[in-house]
A and B are shown apart, each in its own frame.
Chain A
Amino acid sequence: MIFGGRQPTNGKATNGKARRSFKLMIVDDSNIMRRRIERSQQFEELELVGTAGNGIEALELFKKTDPDVVTMDLTMPRMDGIECIGRLVALKPSIRILVISALADKATAVEAMEKGANGFLNKPFTDRQLNEAIAELMR
């Protein structure tokens, strides 16, 4: 699991009690993976606003739902995750993106972070790894 990149501009606790809620969008071309990520999200602060099967659908869904947090696959038809990350960050610089991908080479992780991703989690993953990665994304 890799974290770094852009710093969050929102999503912080305001007075130690009140917490902002985050709108979550899941992008993956696998229905199984989308449902897996949906099931694993156990955070009160997260509200799932929609899922998309490729980068084009993600951009359309973004316009309708304005998510704060995104989980993003990379290898997808029509528009891949790397291109979609760049477009989402251009539209909303404060967006927080966790890449969840099978692509395990360092160069791909570096490219995703340079495009604006905030974290990188390799498939396959455990529920614990996923929850830790999402928690890290919202810090």
Chain B
Amino acid sequence: MLYEQELKTFVEGTTNFFEVAAQQPATIGSPYLMEGTPAVHEYTGVINISGKREGVVYFTAPKAMLTVLLMKMQEHDFSHETMRDLVGEVANTISGNARRDFGRDFVISVPSVLTNEKPEIPKRPGLRSFIIPINWRSHSAKLVVSLS
């Protein structure tokens, strides 16, 4: 379960990432709750959460969006490996920033990256997912937060 204030933490973390790293703000859609595993894009960066909360946080985005994001970050390498690196780094940054409110017992893993449209996202029985829609330029991505 996620409280409203906790959800706000992730929304603000996502907003801050695009404002600072991409120097262009993203529009965040209304978060919604979903049973089961939401559809993902081509690249997904997954952070496992342990400690006082358990679950998973992941950022999933299409290649086209990541390409533009890399350009905005003055990156010149648009290889598959760099795309993987980027989604992992975005997921890591938003999850790590959440410790400002959750505290250090919100333990985050190093990122793992999944790269097809039907990846095996780690599932926790009974946990529902909050989906935070992210619109940036003409692209759409999602941050998925599923915590006990």
Contact = CB atoms under 8 A, between A and B. Distances in A.
Interface of A: 29-33, 35-36, 39, 75-77, 101-105, 107-108, 122-126
Contacts of A103: 96, 99, 104, 108
- Majority secondary structure, B binding face: helix
Contact of B103 (A76, A77, A107): A107
Given A75-B96, A102-B93, A35 B103 contact: no
A53 B3 CA distance: 36
Contact of B92 (A102, A122, A125): A102
B121 interface: no
Contacts of B96: 75, 101-104, 123
Interface of B: 16-17, 20-21, 23, 70, 73-75, 77, 81-82, 85-86, 88-89, 92-100, 102-104, 106, 108, 110
Contacts of A29: 110
- Majority secondary structure, A binding face: loop
A123 B45 CA distance: 17
A32 B93 contact: no
A71 to B, nearest CB: 15
Given A32-B85, A103-B96, A124-B20, A39 B110 contact: no
B74 A39 contact: yes
A30 B89 contact: yes
Contacts of B110: 29, 75-77
